Amino acid sequence: MIQFITRRMITLVGQVLLVATIVFLMLRLVPGDPARSVLGETASEEQIATMRHKLGIDRPVWEQYVDWLGNAVRGDLGTSIISGRDISSDIASRFGNSAELIVISVVLSLIIAIPLGTIAALKRNQFIDVALSSIAMLGLSLPGFVVGTVLVLLFGLKWRILPQSRFVEFGDDPMAHIKLLILPSITLAIGNAAVILRMMRSSMLEVLRQDYVRTARAKGLNEARVVRAHTLRNAINPVVSLVGLEVATLLGGMVIVEQIFNWPGLSTLLMSGVISRDYPVVQGVVLVIAIVTIIVNVIVDITYALLDPRIRLT
Amino acid sequence: MTSTPFKLTRRGFTAVGALAAGGILVPSASARPRITFPRLAQDTPKAGGTMIYGLSTDPSNFEPHVSTGAASTSVKLMCYSTLLTYNADNELIGDLAEEFGWIDDTTYQLKIREGVTFHDGSSLTVDDVIFSLERIRNPDTAATNASYFNEVTDIKAGDGNTVNLTFNRPFAAFSFILANTNSYILSQAWIESGVDPKVEMMGTGPFIFKERVPGVSITLEKNPNYFLEGLPYLDGITYQPMPDDTTRMTALRSGSVDFADYVPYTQMDIITNDPNLTFASDSISGFGWVGFNHEMDPVSDVNVRLAFAHGMNRETMVTTAFAGHGAPITGGLIPEGMLGYAPDLEGTFAGDYEKAKSLLDTAGHNPLDIDMVSTSTYSVIQRPAEAAQAELENAGINAKLELQEWLTFRQTVLDGTFPTHSWGTAIDYGDPDFLWNYMHSTGNMAKQFRFNNPDMDALLEQGRFETDEALRDEIYQEVQVKAAEVVPWVYSIRRTQGEAMQNFVMGYTHLPSWNPITMREIWLDK
C-alpha cells in the first residue's frame, strides 16, 4: 500500500506538470487581452501596450512560463492581474467553501441513492422500481440552474424559510452558515443522487445474478443478509469510482450553483479568471484542481482495496 | 468662476435654455426615455442603520483611475471624492472644488475646499489634487480619462488654495471629465507609501473602507469627518456581490438586501409592481448599435450602411430585445435635453424596409448576405443584436450572427475580421463631446470602426474647442446631420437601466449620468 501511494505521488508530479503546461499554453492561445480586460472598452492602443508591459505579458511566453513555474514550485501562485490580490490566499478560502459544499452534497446523495438504488434493484420491474427510476430520470434531466432557481424562489421568496443572505463562515455564525448550506447542497445532491441511484441499481442487478448470491440464498441465508453481506459490498465499487469522478468534476464545475446561491467557491473564481483572462488565477486554480483530482483518485483506489480484498494495490 | 452650489451658469448654457450643465435633463416625450425617481423624503432624514446592497458584480479591483465597471464605481465613489459632481437634479456642482471654471480661454481654475481630511486624518492639500491629476495624465497609470488631458500643458498651484490647469486650447467639456467617476482625488502620501490601490481604498469620501472578503462582501463605515455637514446618514454600507440576476432580485424581494443595482429587463415589471419596492431608472444613457469595418466591402459603400440605418424598426426592436423597456433612436444619438440635440432628425430612421432595399439595389447588393459578430456574455448586447438581425431580414439583409465570449468579441472587432458587429455601451458623460470617441478618427471606437472622415473630424474639433455654448449646440446638431449622411455607425435603441430598493430607502436619486453620488444622501425610514 505504501509503495503504491509513493509511486502515485511521484507520477502526480509529472501529471500536474503536464496539466499546468497545457493550461499555460492554451490560455495564451485564447483570443482576448488581459490588458483590455483591466482597462475597459475605451482604452487606447498605447494604454493597452503600457498595461501589457506592466503586467509582464509582453515578454516571451517561455520566459513567463519559467517564471510562473519557478514561483509555483515554491508555493507562490502570484497575484491576480485584475484584482491585485494574492492568489494562494484567495484559492485557500475558496477551496474550503467548495470542499464543504461538495462533501455535504455527496454524502447527502449517497444517503439517498444507495438505499433507493438497492431497493430498485431488489424490486426490479415492480412499481417501486419504475417509480424510482422515473424520479432518477427527472433528477438527471433537470439542470442545476433550474433546480436551484426553483428552490430559491420557493424557499427564499415564497415561503421565506431560507432567504438569500450574505455568506457567513461557520465559525462566525454556525446556524446561519448551515442555513445557507441547505439549498445548494440539495441542488447538487439531486443531480448526483440520480446518477448514483442508477449506477447502484444496475450494479446491484449485475451482482444479484452472480452464482455466489444464488449459493448464499441456497444456503438458506435470509434476504437481508444476502444483500448486506454478499451483494451490497460487491456492488458498491463502481459507485465509489463514480463519486471520485463527481468530486473532481464539481470542484471546478459548479459555477452555476455557486452563483445562484452566492456561494464563494473555487468555480466562480475560476470562471471570473477565465472571463477576464486573468492568467495567473486560472493557472493557479487549475493547478489546485489537478492536484486534488489526482489525490481523490488515489483515495478511490485505496477505498477499492479496502472494500474488496481481492484487489491488490501494487 | 462659479460658486457652490452650482449649476454651470456660463453664458452659453443659458443660451440653450433648459440644458443646464448636467447635460442630460428632462427626457423627451417623443423618445420616451424615462427617469423614475423614488419617493422624495417627506420627513427629516434619520441617521443610523447599515444598508445592505446587492451588487451585480464582485468588483475586479479598486484602482481609482481606471474604470472597472459600474458596480465597482458605486463602491469607489463612496470612499473617494471627485473635484466636481452632480446634484439630485443632475446638475454639475462642486465637490472637493469649492469653485471651478475657466478664468480665461486656456486656464481652468479650481478652488479647493478647505478643511477636508482623508480617512487617515491627514488634510487634503492642493498638492494632493495636483498629484492626482498628474497621476491621471501619467501614461504608466493607463487611466481611463488620460486622453482628456491631452490638451493640458501644465498643472500648478495658484493663489488661495487654487489649482490652475493650462490648456493648449479650451476644452469645453472638461468639467464633465472632472466629475467623472474615474477622476478621484487621492492622498499623495498614501499612494507613495507603497499601498496597492487595487486592493485598498483611502480617500475623502462619505464612507471609510473597512474590509473586503472576495465574493462575499465589501464593508464601508460612516466617515464621521466627511466634509459635507450631516452626511452621510447611514452608519455603513455592506455590499454583497450577487452576480446572478435572479438571486439578486429574489434577495431584494424577500428583504435580504435593501438595495440592488442593475435590475434586468426581465424583472422590471415584477419590481415595478411590487408595492414594497421602488425602481429608479432612465432610458437615456445605455444604447446599442450596429457598427462597421469601413475598410471592408460591401459596408465601405455608404448606401449599404444607409440600408442598415433604414432597415431596422427601432420600436419593434425595443419590444423584441427588452420587452419594451427602452426607447428607439430614430434620429441623432444625443438625447433631448443635452446640448446638441437635433429635433429635426427625429424619425429619420423610423424603419423603412423598402427604402433600405432600394439602397441595396443602388449598391448592387440586394439581397445582402453578411456576417455580423456580437457577444453572448451580456444580454444587454446580445438581445439587441438578435433583434437587429430579425429586423434587417425584413430589409433584405441576411445577417449571419456569430456570438462570441466578451473578450474574444472585443478582439474580433479590434482585428476587423467581420464587416459588421452589434455592440452596446453608455454615453460617457453629459456633453456631446462624448461622440468624439466614436466618430473622430483618433477616437478609440472610431479606430475600431476604421472610420475616418475629415469633415467629421473638423466638426468634432470645432465642438470640443469652442467656448460659446450656442455655437456648440449648432455644431453638434450638424455633427449628427453629417452622421446621418455618412453613417459611421448605426445606433439603434436605448435601454432602461436602473436600481431597485425597499420603500424605506430614502434620499436616493437615479441620475441619467449613472453617477451614483446620491447614495451618500440615503437614509433608512424604519
Whether B101 and B175 share a structural domain? yes
Give the Cβ contact number of residue A92 at 10 Å: 11
What is the pTM (predicted TM-score) of this model? 0.86
Q: Is residue B4 domain-resident?
A: no
Q: Is residue B127 domain-resident?
A: yes
The shortest C-alpha distance from A282 to chain B (Å) reads 15
* Separation in Å, CA A111 to CA A105, A114, A119, A127, B8: 10, 6, 13, 22, 69
Q: Please name which of B320, B327, B330 lies closest in space to residue B393, comparing C-alpha atoms.
A: B320
B142, B164, B197: which is the final residue of a domain?
Answer: B197
B525 pLDDT above the threshold of 60 = yes
B255 Ramachandran zone, left/alpha/beta (phi>0; psi -120 to 50): left
Nearest chain A alpha carbon to B218? A166
- Are B256 and B381 in contact by the 8 Å Cβ rule? The answer is no
B164, B180, B197: which is the final residue of a domain?
Answer: B197
| Three-class secondary structure of residue A10 per DSSP | helix
B386 pLDDT above the threshold of 50 = yes
Domain CATH code at residue A259? 1.10.3720.10
Domain count, chain B: 3
Q: Alpha helices, DSSP H only, in A40-126?
A: 45-55, 61-73, 87-122
Whether B162 and B304 share a structural domain? no
Contact with chain B for residue A90, Cβ under 8 A? yes
A262 Ramachandran zone, left/alpha/beta (phi>0; psi -120 to 50): left
Which of A116-125, B9-18, B72-81, B164-173 shows the lowest per-residue confidence on average (mean pLDDT)? B9-18
ipTM score for this prediction? 0.81
Helix (H) or strand (E) holding B122: none
Q: Is residue B509 domain-resident?
A: yes
Whether B479 and B519 share a structural domain? no
Whether B269 and B400 share a structural domain? no
Q: Is residue A286 domain-resident?
A: no
Q: How far apart are CA B232 and CA B47, in angstroms?
A: 8
pLDDT at A234: 86
Q: Is residue B76 domain-resident?
A: no
Give the Cβ contact number of residue A314 at 10 Å: 7
Q: Is residue B71 domain-resident?
A: no
Give A149's contacts in chain B (Cβ within 8 Å).
246
Boundaries of domain holding A233: 93-278
Helix and strand counts by DSSP (H, E) for chain B: 16, 22
Q: How far apart are CA B216 and CA B239, in angstroms?
A: 8
B2 pLDDT above the threshold of 60 = no
Whether B255 and B366 share a structural domain? no
Sign of CA pseudo-dihedral A226, A230, A232, A235: negative
Whether B152 and B95 share a structural domain? yes
Give B69's contacts in chain A (Cβ within 8 Å).
40
B26 pLDDT above the threshold of 90 = no
For the record, the C-alpha cell of B177 comes out as 471629465
In this complex, how many residue pairs, one in chain A and one in chain B, have their CB atoms less than 8 Å apart?
137
- Mutation target to probe the B interface, by most B beta carbons within 10 A, among A33, A82, A83 is A83
Q: Do you find a cis peptide bond into B298, omega within 30 degrees of 0? A: yes
Contact with chain A for residue B445, Cβ under 8 A? yes
Q: Is residue A258 domain-resident?
A: yes
Phi, psi of B143 (to 5 degrees): -70, 145
Helix (H) or strand (E) holding B371: strand B368-375
Q: Is residue A183 domain-resident?
A: yes
- Are B320 and B326 in contact by the 8 Å Cβ rule? The answer is no
Give A85's contacts in chain B (Cβ within 8 Å).
199, 214
Q: Is residue B73 domain-resident?
A: no
Whether B179 and B210 share a structural domain? no
B237 pLDDT above the threshold of 90 = yes
Q: Is residue A314 domain-resident?
A: no
> For B139-184, how does the pLDDT look when each residue is reduced to its tens digit (9 = 90+)?
888 899 999 999 999 999 999 899 999 999 999 999 999 999 999 9
Domain count, chain A: 1
Give B256's contacts in chain A (Cβ within 8 Å).
156, 163-165
Q: Taking a contact as any Cβ pair under 8 Å apart, which residues of chain B between 170 and 209 contact chain A?
A: 196, 198-199
Whether B404 and B504 share a structural domain? no
Contact B251 A156 (CB under 8 A): yes
The shortest C-alpha distance from A104 to chain B (Å) reads 21
Helices A237-253, A279-307: axis angle to 10 degrees equals 170
pLDDT at B243: 86
Q: Alpha helices, DSSP H only, in B340-494?
A: 353-363, 379-394, 406-415, 436-439, 444-449, 454-465, 469-486
Domain CATH code at residue B192? 3.90.76.10
| Mean pLDDT score, A165-185 | 90
Nearest chain A alpha carbon to B257? A165
Contact with chain B for residue A149, Cβ under 8 A? yes
Question: How far does Cα A169 stand from its chain's mean position?
Answer: 20
For the record, the C-alpha cell of B54 comes out as 446587492
Q: Looking at chain A, how many residues does it have? A: 314
Angle formed at CA B160 by CA B157 and CA B166, multiple of 5 degrees:
35
Whether B463 and B329 share a structural domain? yes
Q: How far apart are CA B83 and CA B89, in angstroms?
A: 18
> For B503-519, how does the pLDDT look when each residue is reduced to its tens digit (9 = 90+)?
999 999 999 888 999 99
A53 pLDDT above the threshold of 60 = yes
Which of A15-19, B308-312, B330-334, B483-487 shows the lowest per-residue confidence on average (mean pLDDT)? A15-19
Q: Is residue B144 domain-resident?
A: yes
One-letter amino acid for residue B98 of the chain: E
Phi, psi of B239 (to 5 degrees): -90, 130
One-letter amino acid for residue B511 of the chain: L
Q: Is residue A7 domain-resident?
A: no
The shortest C-alpha distance from B254 to chain A (Å) reads 5
Domain CATH code at residue B273? 3.40.190.10
Q: Is residue B68 domain-resident?
A: no
Whether B438 and B459 share a structural domain? yes
> For A60-116, how does the pLDDT look when each residue is reduced to its tens digit (9 = 90+)?
999 999 999 999 989 899 999 888 889 999 999 899 999 999 999 999 999 999 999
Q: Do you find a cis peptide bond into A60, omega within 30 degrees of 0? A: no
Whether B246 and B369 share a structural domain? no
Phi, psi of B210 (to 5 degrees): -110, -50
pLDDT at A177: 93
The 8-class DSSP code of residue B113 comes to P
pLDDT band at B24 (very low <50, low <70, confident <90, very high): very low
> For A115-164, how does the pLDDT look when each residue is reduced to its tens digit (9 = 90+)?
999 999 999 999 999 999 999 999 989 988 899 999 988 998 888 888 77
Nearest CB to B147 within list A44, A157, A264: A44
Q: How far apart are CA A120 and CA B434, in angstroms?
A: 67
Boundaries of domain holding B310: 286-495
Whether B98 and B182 share a structural domain? yes
Contact B242 A90 (CB under 8 A): no
One-letter amino acid for residue B63 of the chain: E
* A124 burial level (CB within 10 Å; 0-12, 13-18, 19+): middle
